[in-house]
Amino acid sequence: MDPRIRRVQETDITAVVDLVRDLAEYERLTHEFEMTPDQLRVALFGPEPALFGHVAEVDGEVVGFTLWFLSFSTFRGTHGIYLEDLFVRPEHRGSGLGRALLTELAEECVRRGYARLEWSVLDWNAPSIGFYKSLGAAPRDGWTVFRLTDDALTTLGRGEGHPPGDA
C-alpha cells in the first residue's frame, strides 16, 4: 500500500466535504452539491455505515479521496465496489495519487474476493477517461445510467407514479 493512502477518519470529514465541493465544481455540478459534514459523518461512521472511503495525504494535508460502497453482481454472485467519487486536487495530479487510490480499491477487491470495481465518468471528461483506460479499465458501451431524484423520486416513492406497464 502507498503510504500516502489511508482509510478516511472522522477527523477528515471537513477536508473530504471540501474536496467533494471541489469535485462538484470541476464537474460543473455545484448546483447539485448539498452534502453537509454531518451527513458524511453519519454515512461513514454512523451506527450502520454503508459508505467507505480513503484519503490521499501529502505533508499532513488531505489532497485527494475516494468514497465507495458495496455493490453486488447477480451474474457473478459476489460483491464488488462501486466508486462513487475519486478526486485529487489539480496541483497534486500527475504524482501517482489517483493511481494509488484506485490501486487501494483494487487491492480491497482482491483481498475480499470481490468481482468488480466500477464507476461512472462524465462523457466530456477526457483526461479522466484517458487515465482510466491507461489502467486497463474499459467503458461499458451499450449501458445508460438512469437516476430518480427530487420530485420524480418522491412521486414514485409515494406510489403516485404511473401504473405498472404504463411508460
For residue 26, indicate whether it is catalytic: no
Q: Please tell me what DSSP assigns to residue 95.
A: S
Contact criterion met (CB below 8 Å) for 76 and 103: no
Contact criterion met (CB below 8 Å) for 66 and 54: yes
Rounded distance, CA 72 to CA 154, Å? 25
Strands (E), 50-152: 52-58, 61-73, 78-88, 116-119
Residue 5: CB atoms within 10 Å: 21
**Pick the catalytic residue: 26, 82, 114, 132?**
132
As annotated, the active-site residues are 132
